[in-house]
Amino acid sequence: MNKDLISKVAVVGAGQIGPDIALHFAKSLSSNNTKVIVLDISEAALEKAKAKAWKKIDKGVDTGAFKPAQAEQIKSALQFTADYNEVKGAQLVVEAATEDEIIKDKIFRQIEQLTDDNCVFLSNSSHMQPEVIFRNIKNKSRCLVAHYFFPAEINPVVEIVPGKESSTVLTNNLLDFYESIGKVPIKVRSSYGYAIDPVFEGLCQTAIMCFEKGWGNEKEIDAAAVKALGLGVGPFTALNLTGGNPITAHGLDECNKLLMPWFHTPAALHDKNNKKENWNTAQRGEKVELDPAKERKLVNEFRGAYFALTSYILDIGIVDINDFNMATELSLVIKPPFAFMNEIGIDKAYELVEQFCSAHKSFPFPEVLKAAKASGGWNLRDITTRVENNVFIVTIRRPKALNALNLNILKQIQHALEEVQNNSAIKGVVITGFGVKAFVSGADIGMLASLKTPEEGFDNSQTFQSVLNYIENYSKPIVCAMNGFAFGGGNELAMACTTRICRKGLNVLVCQPEVNLGFIPGAGGTQRLPRIVGIEKAAEILRTGRPVSCKEAEEIGLIYKRVEGNLVSEAVSIVNDIADGKLNIKHFSKEPLQFNTSPVSVDLGHLSKKIDDILVKAIYEGSKLNLREGLKLESQMFAECMKTDDMKIGLDNFKANGPKAKAAFVHH
């Protein structure tokens, strides 16, 4: 599905989540003049849904998220109606009605009469298998579940669940479509509750069982769960916020029948549900004190449950571990389970699950955890790989960090390239980023802030450079498909590739913002940029840390071309043309640059004069050397930054105040 070709989307259900789904579609697609219909048989529900959507849009204007004209465009795209005939002409219908198979079946059979056979049917079910929901639909190939998470216009995760007869091509297209409108979709095989809800509901069950056993009150148990798992809010608070008692009670009963006997609805949940009562949770700002022994007991219980539940989902084989690790963190606002187990140590995680399963006899010990312990931990990746038209495509996927680089990710890229280097069927490589906002937002600030000595800084720079040198000298062409902005290390990675292309219309494509943080580029930026765009232009860009638009990047030769259509497909075509000798891309010279210019005066504003002196030396003296020697000088100059007060000031300011706040540099 191409978002630019969708003229009408219909969302059926104006209750808890439907209006939020519609709002996200309107925000993402209104610039294409796409109409978004919200359909419900209740006029009262429609009026309430419209008021809710308008309030959120107006708040977006107040906070600066939308310009007034954009807000009006979003409002104009939305239509709230009880007339089912308005669904005619929709290319996509998302049902978000009550979790009742009879109601869902009735809705889709009615929609089937009003739409053509190419219209895609999605159900925002939180539990039910697509085979159940769409059992009476004639063309099941266009039917899938798309499970959103609360709140749907903000929470990025969508579980895409195909049924037995769903089209594989459509499934893959939906994954691309949701990525193109700013979501983080993952594919999950058909199973009751899919991948993430059994984890959420299992943690709620754990919290309620602790409450029933007298291990603490709701406030204490919530506080312990937050501390144990890094949750945004505790389980009891989450149930209150989402109105989740009824659906959780039903879900746990069904999980008991369809997944494993451990799942069940605790009596206390049945009681709250029957009385339509909320849990007694802490108010905003209220501090909850916990007895250390009680806290330790609850923390161990929650971690054991979390690790057991997520391992169990892997055991039943419905989801990729990397997809699951990422999506669980984003959807539930919780520590990523398998990375968390690696962090605390696989032996400790194993012990906690062992204790949990021993205390909960109906919970089988997960087989995958045994294998992980034998391997010394979970093998996780922040990249995805696939092959298209004889080209190996590497996608950097860290949506929470806007694909920021660290040494581990670079090593993953290098290892992936090594695996296909001698594969004669692979003509070349495309490197791109996940999503539409960032190719790579830069180097991981936490990694940079952890460097303590100039020696550590030099080694860090050299290690980064070694991977980029490997990419630069790869035996096959590598095209960087810049799907969004590339800051710092992202631009340095792109410059190491054979050539670069980007999406058209990016007002900010690249930037080397290191000077704003009190240091200089350390992964080749001071050496490759002058060789690509010329020393004067490179020096100005590097010393001011200003952004460069995609139009300017093309004009100065930093990128090969801007692309209006499918960026990755165009990159694949370019790789094949280079490999087949149809396109000759001239790479920059690695020899010393010949120039007579001296550093010109630059208005540094608030920027550090000391860091600028170091940067100027790296650029101008490094450019007089061959690339290998220039890169070594850059690493030495990066290490020099670590001797200054300004690097610490810049990093501390960034961590405390964000990227827009100007650091108070002292110039020494």
- CA–CA separation, 148 vs 253, rounded Å? 21
pLDDT over 90 (residue 445)? no
| pLDDT, tens digit (0-9, with 9 covering 90-100), for 608-620 | 999 999 999 999 9
Strands, sheet with 561-563, edge to edge from the N-terminal-most edge strand: 383-388, 391-396, 428-433, 478-482, 499-503, 561-563
- Known active-site residue 289: no
Provide the residue type at 415 as one letter. Answer: H
Strands, sheet with 510-511, edge to edge from the N-terminal-most edge strand: 438-440, 485-487, 510-511
The confidence score (pLDDT) of residue 77 equals 95
Q: Which residue is listed with tokens 């149930």?
A: 239
Average pLDDT over residues 148-174: 96
SS3 for 453-477 is CHHHHHHHHHHHHHHHHHHHCCCCC
The confidence score (pLDDT) of residue 2 equals 79
**Could you tell me which residues come within 8 angstroms of residue 140 by beta carbon, excluding any fewer than 6 positions away?**
134, 163, 165, 166
| pLDDT, tens digit (0-9, with 9 covering 90-100), for 117-133 | 999 999 999 999 999 99
SS3 content of the chain, % helix, strand, coil (to 5): 50, 10, 35
Strands 391-396 and 428-433: parallel
Strands, sheet with 78-81, edge to edge from the N-terminal-most edge strand: 78-81, 35-39, 8-12, 92-95, 120-123, 143-148, 157-162, 184-187
- CA–CA separation, 160 vs 256, rounded Å? 23
Instruction: At 140, list the tokens.
Output: 């099941």
- CA–CA separation, 145 vs 128, rounded Å? 9
- Domains of the chain plus CATH, in order, are 3-187 (3.40.50.720), 197-375 (1.10.1040.50), 383-657 (3.90.226.10)
| pLDDT, tens digit (0-9, with 9 covering 90-100), for 311-348 | 999 999 999 999 999 999 999 999 999 999 999 999 99
Give percent of the chain with pLDDT exceeding 90.
91
DSSP character at residue 405: B
| pLDDT, tens digit (0-9, with 9 covering 90-100), for 31-78 | 889 999 999 999 999 999 999 999 999 999 999 888 999 999 999 999
pLDDT over 80 (residue 175)? yes
Q: Which residue is listed with tokens 């920027």?
A: 607
Strand locations in 30-178 (E): 35-39, 78-81, 92-95, 120-123, 143-148, 157-162
- For the chain, the average pLDDT equals 95
Task: Tell me phi and psi for residue 653, to 5 degrees.
Answer: -65, -40
153, 301, 514, 634: the catalytic one is 514
Instruction: At 554, list the tokens.
Output: 């093309």
- CA–CA separation, 129 vs 622, rounded Å? 61
Angle at the Cα of 426 (from 420 to 429), degrees rounded to 5?
80
Average pLDDT over residues 644-654: 92
Contact 272, 279 (CB under 8 A): yes
Give percent of the chain with pLDDT exceeding 70.
100
pLDDT over 90 (residue 16)? no
| pLDDT, tens digit (0-9, with 9 covering 90-100), for 556-582 | 999 999 999 899 999 999 999 999 999
The confidence score (pLDDT) of residue 256 equals 96
Q: Which helix (H) or strand (E) holds 73?
A: helix 68-77
| pLDDT, tens digit (0-9, with 9 covering 90-100), for 214-258 | 999 999 999 999 999 999 999 999 999 988 899 999 999 999 999
Average pLDDT over residues 626-630: 97
Task: Tell me phi and psi for residue 386, to 5 degrees.
Answer: -160, 165
pLDDT over 80 (residue 1)? no
pLDDT over 80 (residue 210)? yes
Q: Which helix (H) or strand (E) holds 210?
A: helix 197-212
95, 153, 201, 492: the catalytic one is 492
Which value, to the nearest 10 degrees, does the dihedral of the CA atoms of residues 269, 274, 275, 277 take? 40
Q: Binning pLDDT at 50, 70 and 90, where does residue 141 land?
A: very high
The confidence score (pLDDT) of residue 655 equals 87
- Known active-site residue 101: no
Q: Hey, which residues does 387 pair with through a beta bridge?
A: 392
The confidence score (pLDDT) of residue 500 equals 97
The residue among 445 and 610 whose pLDDT is bigger is 610
**Could you tell me which residues come within 8 angstroms of residue 454 by beta carbon, excluding any fewer than 6 positions away?**
639, 640, 642, 643
